[in-house]
Structure formats: C-alpha cells, structure tokens
Structure 1
Amino acid sequence: METLHPDVQDILLSEEDIRGIVARMGAEITKDYADKNPLVVAVLRGAVVFMADLMRAVDCPIGIDFMAVSSYGDGAKSSGVVRIVKDLDTKIEGRDVLIVEDILDSGLTLSYLMRMLENRGPASVEVAAFLVKDVPGNAPAVKPRYVGAHVPDEFIVGYGLDFAERYRNLSYIGILKPEVYQK
C-alpha cells in the first residue's frame, strides 16, 4: 500500500491500478499495430514515466522519440501559449505515429501538436492518453484512440505528473490539496 504524501488529499489510482491500465493499453496497441512499426512519441516531461512502462507492455516493433512543448510554466493554469521546446529527431513521413500523453484536459496543446505532425506526412497520428480529465461541459479538442482512465476535474499529480516540478516520482495518481497550488 502506498504512503500518502502530506500534500496529496486522495489516491485515485494505485500502483496496481496503473500496472493494470498499462497492460491493457499495451495489449490494445500491440493488436492494432501488430504488422506495423509505429513511432511512439512521448510528450515531455510528464509522459516519460508512462511511456517507459507502456513501451515494455507493447509486444510489436516500435521506435521511440520525444517532443517537449511548453504551455503551463510553473502554474496551475495553462499560459495559453504553445511553444515547441524539443522537436522530433526522427523523420515521420509515411510512418504511423502514436503520441503518448500523460493527461488530457482541454486538448488544445495536443491538437496543435497533432496538426503540426500531420503536416509532415505521416501514415497516421493517434494518441494514447494515460488520463483524460473529465471537465463538466468541456469535451477535449482531441479524442484519443487509447485511454487509460478518466479522472475528475482536480489537480492531479504522481506517476510523472507534477506541480512546479514536484510529485512526479509518486508511484500513484493522487489529487493535490488545493492549499498547495493556490498559494
């Protein structure tokens, strides 16, 4: 059983829950890409933990690469500005691309990223989102092909997700106490 960090109010997904989600998603991706060699792209930094586990759960040839985009800074709300900090090193023309994302809320940043990649002529661009945040009255701008779990409209940390570069190393997904991010 995980020890609750003092800044976390509740655990939403335990380590065991996460392992089950990753195994299920890996099996789905293996089935869908069995005869292909997709390029799995992690959106840094939050998705790196999920990608490391997911790629081990996929049983077909894959390549990996990384992108970094900036849209949040140190705050709890998006800055509204999307900036490519690190682009792909791999050419994607004619290749199936699977973007691995840690959490999807509005989907605006991911929508921008997908359009940018689609302009490079890949065979396909799909999304595997570990978490989708359920925001009442607001459907994400992107519909992921693979979804790990849905979470409430709260500030979620752990398993790669952070607040101001903290909590990424928690082994579970938890809800950050509001007094921590509302300072």
Structure 2
Amino acid sequence: MSQPLTLEELNKVMEDADLLKTEQEVDQALDAMAAAICERMKDEMPVVYGIMNGGLVTAGRLLPKLNFPLEQGYMHATRYRGETTGSTDLQWQAPPSIDMTDRTVLIVDDIFDEGNTLCEVVKSCQMQGAKQVLTAVLVNKVHDRKNTDLKIDFVGMDVEDRYVFGCGMDYRGFWRNAPGIYAVKGL
C-alpha cells in the first residue's frame, strides 16, 4: 500500500497535470451521449446503474439529460482500491441495488480502459437475468490492451493512453471532482 498523500502533493499533481478535455468539452460529450441513449432507449424503462465510485459523476451529470422513465440504482465493483494499477481480482463492495430480471440495464461508468472490471459487471448483470445490458462511458482510453469480450454502446470521448483523472476518475482516490479531464505529468 502506498503512503498517504499530503495536500501539497495533491495540489502539485493538479498544478503539473496536462488538461486533456475542458469542462465544456465534457459537457458536449455528455449531451451527445444523452441524445444517443435517448434515441435507443426511449421505449425501454431501463434500470440505470452508475458504477461507484468513478461512474458517480458521469451518472449524476448524464441522468438529468435522459428524458424517459428509468429507475436508477448503484453498484460498486473495483480492481484498483486507491492504487494506480489494477489487481487481477474483482472486488464487489456493493452488489446491484435493484432487481434487473427481464429488464434492460444501462451501466454508466467513467472510463473504458482495459475493460476487465466493466466486462465482469456486464456478465454479472446477464447472469442476474437482465434482458439486455448496454454500457455508457464518458471516456475511452485509446490503446490496444482492451478486453475484446466487451463492446461499449455509448462513448463520450476518446483520450490518449495516460493516467487520467477528473470527472469521476481519480488520482489515488483524489481529484474525482475536477471538472475537466487531466493527465498526470509523466504517467
């Protein structure tokens, strides 16, 4: 486990970070995602799950833009536990909060990096009887290490293959609240 970060260290990370996407670009991406989701799901009455913790910000900003009836739930599955690299095991901290049997399910998350966690979440929803499972992510990290078993249905924007934070994505547990998308200097 890493040493706790100080306020000065965290402020230095932000000061040195490269801004990849502005708050306005994030808003535009969310608007485009919402339009695509509304078109595809307007007749579904889905259960929409935000994946905690990262998907909280994306879901919170996306849900008010969806103009059809839906139920909103939450779940928390992670492989990172505050570190910058994931372990191989999926850890469930909160199972799905609403029954999804014979329902269309939309999973909202912050980022599609390699996709291993999200792939396991989708499989779990299918095993719990979901009629259809769709996925929406704010950020797609562009690289060739993707889990090929997973296709993302709605993507807000692409970013380069760096350690990114902001808009729900964290730097060692912090800076999820940053309004734009930033890359850590040197990572």
Length-normalised TM-score, structure 1: 0.90
Query: What is residue 40 of structure 1 aligned with on the other side?
Result: 48
2:92 is matched with which residue: 75, 78, 84? 84
Query: What is residue 6 of structure 1 aligned with on the other side?
Result: 15
- The Cα of 1:167 is off from its aligned counterpart by 0.9
1:66 is matched with which residue: 74, 80, 85? 74
Q: Which digits, 9 at most, give the CA deviation of each residue in 1:120-167, with x for residues without a partner? A: 1111001001111111x3234321000111111100001111011111
- The Cα of 1:26 is off from its aligned counterpart by 0.6
Structure 2 SS opposite 1:6? helix
> In the aligned structure 1, how far is the partner of 2:94 from the partner of 2:179?
26
Q: Which digits, 9 at most, give the CA deviation of each residue in 1:53-99, with x for residues without a partner? A: 10011111111111101201222111111011101121100100000
Structure 1 SS opposite 2:175? coil
Which stretches in structure 1 are left out of the alignment for 5+ residues? none
Length-normalised TM-score, structure 2: 0.89
**8 A Cα contact 1:131 1:150, kept in partner:** yes
> In the aligned structure 2, how far is the partner of 1:35 from the partner of 1:113?
24
Residue identity opposite 1:105 in structure 2: D
**8 A Cα contact 1:15 1:171, kept in partner:** yes
Residue identity opposite 1:107 in structure 2: G
Structure 1 SS opposite 2:48? strand
> In the aligned structure 2, how far is the partner of 1:126 from the partner of 1:75?
28
Query: What is residue 175 of structure 1 aligned with on the other side?
Result: 183
> In the aligned structure 2, how far is the partner of 1:23 from the partner of 1:140?
27
RMSD: 1.4
Structure 2 SS opposite 1:5? helix
> In the aligned structure 1, how far is the partner of 2:166 from the partner of 2:20?
10
Residue identity opposite 1:6 in structure 2: E
Percent identical residues: 25
> In the aligned structure 2, how far is the partner of 1:121 from the partner of 1:169?
34
Query: What is residue 165 of structure 2 aligned with on the other side?
Result: 157
**8 A Cα contact 1:104 1:140, kept in partner:** no
Q: How many residues align?
A: 174
The question of 1:120 aligning with 2:128 is answered yes
Residue identity opposite 1:138 in structure 2: R
> In the aligned structure 1, how far is the partner of 2:71 from the partner of 2:33?
17
Which stretches in structure 2 are left out of the alignment for 5+ residues? 1-12
Runs of 4+ displaced beyond 2 Å:
137-141
Query: What is residue 93 of structure 1 aligned with on the other side?
Result: 101
Question: Which has the larger share of helix?
Answer: 2
